Amino acid sequence: MKDQILQFLPENHPWKEQLLYFKSIDSTNTRAKELARANALHGTVLIADSQTSGRGRLGRSFHSPAGSGIYMSVIIRPKCKPSELMHLTCTAAVAACDAVEKAVGIRPGVKWINDLVYGQRKLAGILTELGLAKDGSVDYAIIGIGINCSQKEADFPEEIRTIATSLEMIVGRPVDRAKIAAALIEEMERISQELISGKENLMRRYRADCVTIGQSISLLRGETVHHGTALDLDDQGGLVVRFDDGHTEAVNSGEVSIRGMYGYL
């Protein structure tokens, strides 16, 4: 697999020498963090055929069976403050949509903040994590992405079977995971260069992909569910919501459900 991915990358790609491939691993994000703490270079890429403890946002797990998906983490080292990276997940989502479109020919949407979706179902998830230096600046950022590639509906665990999809389910033909992985590496490298200078443009593109805007949503905060309408995004990627009690607020965390998506009625 590693050789196939390398074949799809341009000869002189700057991250080509830093690609690590694992047959099985607990979590590429967890390992990436360990490597980043041990001074791994900007542009170190970890890809696994399967994960035994794939992690998602909000402490969830990410189902990562062998031979079916792409499980990738990238270590980047932007020189900035953590407050300047609030849009990192949004940026990674745009890059992932670009990669899927380039390699497979369909463009997913994004359910705020980190799910790639297609036909109301979840196709991929993104988990970004930061490590800080002693002076409070960013030491490293990990961008983790998991994409369902070749699963059929029956392959998903029962609890996500009706809300998950895969690229093969969408396009109805086999997809080349190595080609998609290479496209992901290229797009992640591209956004790593534009992260700060190109923020406005990246957020404009995220806004265009985000299917949450304009929808009736519910926000789960702790044990409480709040209902409202998603109006827009702020510059940091926060979701601007007008709640049913009349107040408007930019939401930065919590679980947002969209009416009509993932079985939420």
Tokens of 125: 């998830």
Whose Cβ is closer to ligand BTN: residue 137's or residue 252's? 252
CB of 29 to ligand BTN, least distance (A): 4
Of 90, 52, 51, whose CA–CA distance to 71 is shortest? 51
- Longest CA–CA span in the chain (Å) reads 57
Per CB under 6 A, contacts with ligand BTN among 50-109 are: 51, 54-57, 60, 62, 71-73
- Residue 239 Cβ vs ligand BTN, minimum distance, rounded to whole Å: 16
The binder of ligand BTN chosen from 108, 144, 228, 238 (CB under 6 A)? 144
Residue 129 sits in the site that holds ligand BTN (CB under 6 A):
no
Which stretches does DSSP call E strand in the chain?
19-25, 44-51, 69-76, 109-111, 115-118, 121-132, 138-148, 216-221, 224-233, 239-243, 248-251, 255-258
Angle of the 199-209 helix axis to the 177-194 helix axis, nearest 10: 140
From 128-136, 144-152, 218-226, 247-255, span contacting ligand BTN (CB under 6 A): 144-152
Out of 9, 27, 166, 226, the only residue in the binding site for ligand BTN (CB under 6 A) is 27
Cβ-based burial of 157 (10 A; exposed 0-12, middle 13-18, buried ≥19): exposed
* CA gap 234, 74 in Å, rounded: 26
**Can you tell me the distance from the alpha carbon of 69 to that of 180, in angstroms, rounded to the nearest whole number?**
10
Quote the CA–CA distance of 239 and 231 in Å, as a whole number: 8
Stretch that binds ligand BTN, among 47-55, 81-89, 166-174, 198-206 (CB under 6 A): 47-55
x-or-dash string of contact with ligand BTN, 175-194, rule CB under 6 A: --------------------
- Is residue 33 close enough to count as binding ligand BTN by CB under 6 A? no
Tell me which stretch binds ligand BTN (CB under 6 A): 81-89, 94-102, 125-133, 254-262: 125-133
Which residues, 6 or more positions from 27, have their beta carbon under 8 angstroms from its beta carbon?
51, 52, 53, 54, 55, 144
Tell me the residue nearest to ligand BTN as measured from the CB.
Answer: 125
Give me the least distance between CB of 16 and ligand BTN, in Å please. 20
Of 29, 44, 151, 215, the one binding ligand BTN by CB under 6 A: 29
Q: How far apart are CA 209 and CA 32, in angstroms?
A: 28
Binding residues for ligand BTN, rule: CB under 6 A, are: 27-29, 51, 54-57, 60, 62, 71-73, 114, 125-127, 144-146
